[in-house]
Every structure is written in C-alpha cells, then in structure tokens.
Structure 1
Amino acid sequence: MCDKQNRVTFETRDEYQRKPIAEKIIRLLESDAKVSPLVIDGSWGSGKTEFCKKLIHLIEDGESSLRPIYVDAFKADHADEPLMTLMAAVLNALPEAEREPLIKKALPAIKFGVKTALKAGTSWLLKQDAADVVEDFKDEVKKAGDELINHAVESVLKDHVDAEQNITTLQAALFELAKDAPIVLFIDELDRCRPDFAVNMLENIKHIFDVEGVQFVLITNFDQLRSSINHCYGTGLEDAQRYLDKFVQFSLSLSDTHKPDGHESVLASVTHLKDLVGNSELLDNTDLEKEGGGYFLASLVAANRLSLREVETLVLHLEIYQSLTDKKGMQTRKDFGYCLLRVLGVFLYCFKPEIAESMRRNALATSDIAAVIGKAELFSKLDEEYPDHGDTVLAMISAEVPSQNGTFFLSEEEKKRWAETFSDYFRGAYGGRSGRFTDIVVEAIETMKLAR
C-alpha cells in the first residue's frame, strides 16, 4: 500500500487530466491480457511518481480486487539486493498473520541470493539456463584439468540446483498469496538507480517473480533504462531494446499534453507554470500573473519543452529574483518591456548559462536567443499584423547585437519601423535607442549571480 500521509488523488488534483489513463491501466491489469511487466515511460520531471501514487490510490479507493504495492527502487539500490527489496515490500503490505509463513518460504531463496552475490564470478549463474551453465563449465574444466576447479564447479552447480528448488518454493507461496487478491508491484524510480541494480531488478522480476497473480508496473524513463543496460553489457541501443523486449510486455508514454477545453492540446508544463505563478506569494501582483508576462513566460516553457520539475526550478528562480530586487523586479506595469527582458535574463541564467555568459561578455549570437525564444526568423509583417512578445523581444536584441545570420539582422529602416513598437513596451522611455535592451537582460543575469 502507498503511504496515506499527504495523500494526493485524482479527485483532489488532476490538472493534467490523467485519471482516464489510470483507469485504462487498471482495466488492463484486471484483464486476462498478459501486460506485465508494464512500463509507464516518461522523461525526468514529467510527474511519473505522482501519477503512480494517484493510480495506486485509485485502485485502493475503488472496487478493484488488485492489491497494489509501491516500491521506491532508488531508496533501496544501496542495499544491492533486489530480491530482498521486492520481498520486503510484499511482506510489508501483508497483514501480520500472513507474513510469517511467507518469510519461512522466502528465506532460503533470499539467503541464496545474498550468498551468491558475495561470490565473485558466480552470481551470473542465476541469469543462465541450467544447460548453458553445465556446458560452459564443462569446457572450462577440460581446459584447466585442475581438481580445485572441478570441486568449485561442482559446488556452484549444487548451489544452482538448490536455488532452483528454493525459488520454486517461493513462487508457489506467492501464487497462493495472490489467489484471492492479485498483487501488483509498482516499481518507481528505476531510472535513478545504479545501472547494475536496475538490471538485476529486471532479471529478478523476470526469473523469480514470474508468478500467476503477481504483476509489475515499472515507472521509469525508457531511455535511461536502455542506458543502464548498455552500461552493464556494453551493447548498442538496438541490442538494449531487444534485451528489454524480453522483459517488458507492454509500455505506454505518459503524455506531456492535455486538453483543458476538450479540443486544443496544452502542455502540462504550461498548466503547471500558471498554477505555480498564481499560487506564489512572491510573484503575486506582478506582470507574470497578467496575460502579457504570463504569455511570454509560457512561450519560453513551450519552446524549450521544459519538464514539470524544470518549471518548478524556473518559478523558484523568478521568486529568488523578486527577493533580490525587493519584490520590484517584475512589478513594472508602466514599462512592461522591463519585465519581459528580465524574465529572459532569469531564464538564461537558469537553463542557458553559456548564452547568459556570452551576453555578459558582449559576444552573443542573435540566433542563440532566437532558438531560446522559439523563433525561426524575425517578424516581418509590422504593417499587417501585430507581433507577439517573443517577436518583439527578439527584435530588441537583434537591434543591438550583430547577427551571424542575416535572418536576424535589422536594417536601419527596420529599426525605425520597430521603434514605435518598442516605445509601446516602454511607454516612450527608450524610443528604440540601441545599447540598452541587452543591458536589462544582463542586469537580471548579474542579479542572479549576486553581482548586483
């Protein structure tokens, strides 16, 4: 079961509309389809852990017969015993009366796992088919012809047979346990574990917990899991995928978008941004809460595809900036342009330190800023349409910084045409004069460096 302290459910919060996904996962786990192990894939900071816990609560609060068990693999990887970690999680979820019989049946298999882990060069045996093990050692014995080696081989093979018997006993006990209430182990944070622990966990799931009535849901980053396999076996990405295919029956990616109005897709990170800014006391009553500043900030999040965790980092940095400027940094309703350029400075400091440093040293390429803002070219329809805030900020920077790409170059005539737009953002205070817009960005960067 999941810890009921600070319990978060889909009923209390489902801003990214993920409850329907959870309901479908439950339906799959309850069905006769062989979906275990099932992988819920998501990038770091995409809200996988919260989704996992909400999913478990949905099972617990509903009429499902499933018995969910949560395992934080990252907290256990220092112990280096995946089998013990999994068994401890199962035992912890059982009523006390059911624990003792299972402990007695599980102990021999766990003891063997610990014993072989301490034997250098022998722990890999459990990963092989018995016939392969015998054949491999037979070849080695022929080469060596040493009685000591013969004795060692005989001992290891005997241990292997004992292990098979112990594991069979454990599997039978788990089968009995899951008869009335099927067990689902949710293994979270596997992508944060040491590569060898992550791979050992997968192999324990495959070889020991392949029991009817016991299912696994792995909440992880698939790319990182492939990297762990490559780290352990030194193979290419394609081989890592083949390896995973032996373990994973079904996988799904946690969507980073949702449809608040039922039609248009919105990034979950943008929704998260609006919630965090709206609930921040430090950012209360600032231009970031208004449509303009919030729109530019959201466009930066979208253009750089920030994760939910990265959005939290960004809002924290904006709050730090507000604190360092006595809460005045983003409260510039009169000269809205200040807010936009300061937001850009904080963003660069937070996520693009190389570009921030280039701007401080007056060695910036306009194309770098264009990429951050998410613009492929300068806005060129001033007579027909009104540019958005990102267009205007890019034009401000382009008016002052030599471009390495003609696409981002403003001629003197274009600067005059943009001057009126710039004045709107500063209420005439700048009038399009060069040498100052980039200064505002740099001032924000310097403030974050505690240099001002």
Structure 2
Amino acid sequence: MRLKTLPVKVDPDSIYENDRLRRKEYVDNLTVLLSNVEAPLVLSINAPWGAGKTTFLKMLHANLASQKTNAVYFSAWETDFASDPLLAFLGEMNAFLSSQLQDSFGKRAWEKAKSAGGQILKRVVPVAVKVGTAGVIDLEQALEGEASALAGALSNDLIESYIKNKELIDVFKENIIKMLVGTEENEGLGRLCIFVDELDRCRPTYAIELLERIKHLLDIPGLIFVLALDKTQLAHSVKAVYGADFDAAGYLKRFIDIEYGLPEPDLDVFVDYLFDHNDFEAYFRSTGMQDLQRDGQSLRSSMQLLAKSQKLSLRSIEQLFTRLKLLIISTPVSQPFHPDITLYLIYLKEFDRLAYEGFVVGGSEAQRSIDLIPKVFSSGYESSEMVHQFVHAEILSAQSSKDPEWVKLQIEGLKRLQSEGTELSQYYAGRVIQLYEYHQGIRSRVRIQPLIRRVEMLENFQM
C-alpha cells in the first residue's frame, strides 16, 4: 500500500483525465474569460489551503495553452529563494519566450526588457546597503561635517537611484509592450497569461514584493496574471510585515482586479479518488478475507460522511488517509481493523480530547464518545445511520472488557428503546444490539487496548 499520496498530474494531451473533483466546467468557463478579457488584468483564484488550487490552476494553464494562448506557470513558493520576485519573473519568462519568440523584432524587445530588468535589480542592492549602514552609525558622536557629508551622499544616491530606476522601468515596460502588442510595422506575440501558484505559502516579504512588482512594473497591456492564493492566509502575511492593525484586506484589493472563489469540491468523489489512488480497495480485496473486505467498504462510507459533516479541506482528508494507512500497514492481517471506530477515535483525539480521554478511561466516562456520534457523523446524509450504528456498537464492544456492568446497563437501555421508542429508534436500537453481539465474537471483538495503542502510536509521526 502506497503511504504518500502522489500529486495529481495534468497531462497536456489529456487535461481532464485526473479531474477527480469534476471542475472541467469551471476551467472551461475561465478559459473563455481569459481568452477574451481586456488586459492588463490580475485575477485571483481564492480558496483555503488544501482545496485543490494547484490542480485547478494547472488545468487552466494547460487548457489555455492548448488553445494557442501564451501561458506561463510557476510556483511562487518554489522561487521565493530569489532575492527579488522580479528575478524569478525574468527567469520564468526567459525560459518560456526563448521557444516562443520566432521573429527578430520580438527577440530584440525582450532582450532590452530583460536588460532593463537586470539593471533595476542591480541598482536596488547598493542603495539598500547604504541606507542600512546609516541606521547603525551613531550620528551624534560623529563629527558634524562627516554626518552632513554622509547624509548628503545618501540623499544624492537615493535621488539618483530613483531617477535612474524610473528610466529603467519605462524602458522595461515599453519593450514588454512592444513584444506583446507590437507596433504598426511589427506584429506582437499577443496576450500572455502568467499563472502564479502558492503565493500564500511564500515568506511574507516575498509575497508582498511579488504583488507590488506586478502592480508597479507589470501592469502592462497584453499581460494577465492569475494568482492562486488563500486570501485569509495572505492577509496574515501582510499583517506580519505591516502590523496587526494594518488593513490587509484593503491593501490586497489594490493589487487584485477580480477575485474568483473556487467552488467547493464534491467530497464523496474526492474520497473515492483517494481510496482508489492509495490502493485501499486493492489492499482489502487482496487479503481474501470477507470481514476485511467489508471493512474496506465501511471505511469508504465513514470517511465520506466525516468529510462532509465536518467540511474538511482536501488537505485534511489526505492527512486522515495517511494516518489510516499507517495504522492499516502496522496492523497484522490476522487482527480485525474496525475502521469506523478507528477513524472516529483519530478524529476525537485531535478535535475533542475530552471525549477521547473518556473513551480511554472507560465506563460512564465513555458516554460522551457515544453522545457525539451524531455530531461528528452528521445525520441527513446517505449511510449516516449505518455509520452511527457501527460506531455505537463498536464502542460498547470495546468497553465490555473494561466495565461490563456499564455496558450491560447500556444494552438494557437499548432494549427498552427497542420496545418503547419510535419506529426509527426501535430499528436503530435493534441494529446496535445486533452489531454489538456480532462484535462479541472471538474473531470480531473490538479489543480496546490494541485499538488505543494503535491510535496513540500516531503521535510519534509528524504529518
């Protein structure tokens, strides 16, 4: 069984082959928009971390490229080692344009723009060093003449740098425009869409500098930026630089023209994909044991229900799968796995420690773990009642060796409900009793100590 979930691959020749979240319609709609909207434009694809932005962005990039629209993709997070985002931009652009620019006019324009960009980068460092040095010099102890000369030199340097940088920026922009839009005599390359992924994962200063470079240097006709980000996390980065009271949301609006909220995925489909992609079905089937094969089907239903009930992010679902894989791999095939209660305890341990500790202590302290079942696995979804019954019965089976008298009282209460309750509660109580009796068999008994040891073992792993 594969432990690590592999990244989703987007094949340019079969873009939607691995579209497990069924987002083709949204990609197609945005492709039409980006093909026709007037540039310049900055569009953000906004969604929480772990919601599938990277795969969506790669499909959008590949779809545009397949329709002969110039498109460049790069991960901001993978380039934030660069001293300046402009350097990363020039490098990614150069790699793309070297194969796209066929005519000498476009190549000359790009070389001039690249040269101007390189000079802008060179001029930023010396001035920054001089300004930084001034901050550590004690001017009060320096001679008045020397202090005055230093201040004057710094002022001249800054003014000269400003004028020179302004000239270089103009040259940079003019040649990018020539390359894309062209002139009366020469046809340009056409619009260029630049996809910037994982901006919210960059170090705060780099993310802000990248936004500012886009706004001040790259607000150019023919140029479209598509930024994948979690606006909430990016706002935290802005506040980390400018202070907790800074209006981060207002600041970000200065740079982004249109915000597109990524639609929520179909979590049933995503769980199905992870279940198959990570060989769960193959593993349970390969055992040749009927009980374990039923465990596999049950685990799929429980995971789907938990994901929808708790509105888990795609990343959180992946991490839950990784935890379960660790437990499955470390559990001998000869031992029952009990996926429903295992998944439930993993969740409680992280999100309701009181209920988890009550289960460990046992007896009446375990009542909270029973009471929370409908909340963790919300009712109203298909298979919810089945999962409730399985988890309830497995908790009673696990506790039967720890406090048999308490479990006996629980079964008596269920029997009263079976005879006196509503039609639905009668069925529920009867089913829990039936499953409990099944789990009291030698082969299927839920043994509490091995179960707890397996769940506790996860603390030794960092996901």
TM-score tier (shorter): 0.7 to 0.9
1:72 is aligned to 2:75: yes
Q: Aligned-pair distance for 1:270?
A: 3.5
Counterpart in the other structure of 1:343: 343
Alignment: residue pair count = 394
Aligned with 1:211 (options 215, 220, 224)? 220
Q: Is 1:83 aligned to 2:86, yes or no?
A: yes
Mapped partners of 1:123, 1:188: distance in 2: 33
Which of 109, 112, 121 is 2:120 aligned to? Answer: 112
Give per-residue Cα distances to partners, 1:348-407, cap 9 Å, x unaligned.
Answer: 56x54946862575286755775576359999xxxxxx9432255257658969xxxxxx
Hey, what does 1:251 align to over in structure 2?
259
Q: Which moved more, 1:196-205 or 1:24-33?
A: 24-33
Which protein is richer in helix relative to its size?
Answer: 2
The residue type equivalent to 1:89 in the other structure is: E
Query: How far is 1:443 from its partner?
Result: 4.7
Give, as a single letter, the amino acid of the residue that structure 1 aligns with 2:164.
Answer: D
1:287 correspondence with 2:300: no
| Equivalence for 2:41 | 36
Q: Does 1:310 align with 2:316?
A: yes
Give unmatched runs, 5+ long, in structure 2: 1-8, 133-145, 182-188, 287-292, 401-408, 419-428
- Secondary structure at the counterpart of residue 388 of structure 1: helix
Displacement of 1:253: 1.6
Higher relative contact order at CA 8 Å, sep ≥6: structure 1 or structure 2? 2
Determine the structure 1 residue equivalent to 2:4.
none
Check conservation: 1:184, 1:214, Cα contact below 8 A. Answer: yes
Does structure 2 conserve the Cα–Cα contact (< 8 Å) formed by 1:45 and 1:308? Answer: yes
Given residue 282 of structure 2, which amino acid in structure 1 is its aligned partner?
E
1:389 is aligned to 387
| Contact 2:112 2:175 (C-alpha < 8 Å) held by counterparts | no
The code of the aligned residue for 2:258 comes to F
Matched, 1:227 2:246: no
Partner of 2:48, secondary structure, is coil
In the aligned structure 1, how far is the partner of 2:374 from the partner of 2:451? 14
Alignment partner, residue 442 of structure 1 = 452
The C-alpha deviation readout for 1:44-64, integer Å capped at 9, x for no partner, is 2211111111111111222x4
8 Å Cα contact 1:300-1:373 kept in structure 2: no
User: SS state of the match for residue 185, structure 1?
Assistant: strand
Segments of structure 1 that go 5 or more residues without pairing to the other structure are 125-143, 259-265, 332-337, 380-385, 402-409
* Structure 1 counterpart of 2:11, from 7, 19, 23: 7
Closer, same or farther in 2 for the Cα pair 1:320/1:353, shift >3 Å? farther
Query: Residue in 2 aligned with 1:156?
Result: 158
Q: 1:284 to 1:172 in 2, by over 3 A?
A: farther
1:146-225 to structure 2, matched below 5 A, reads 146-179=148-181, 180-225=189-234
- What is the distance in 1 between the residues matched to 2:352 and 2:65? 45
What is the percent sequence identity of the aligned residues? 21
Aligned equivalent of 1:362: 361
Quick check: 1:256–1:269 contact (8 Å CA) kept in 2?
no
Deviations 1:249-292 (A, max 9, x none): 1111212234xxxxxxx5554444444466653344633442x4
The Cα of 1:426 is off from its aligned counterpart by 4.2
Deviation string 1:209-248 (CA, Å, 9 cap, x unpaired) is 01000110001111111111111101437x1110011000
Query: In 2, Cα distance between the equivalents of 1:257 and 1:78?
Result: 32
**How far apart in 1 are the matches of 2:228 and 2:372?**
32
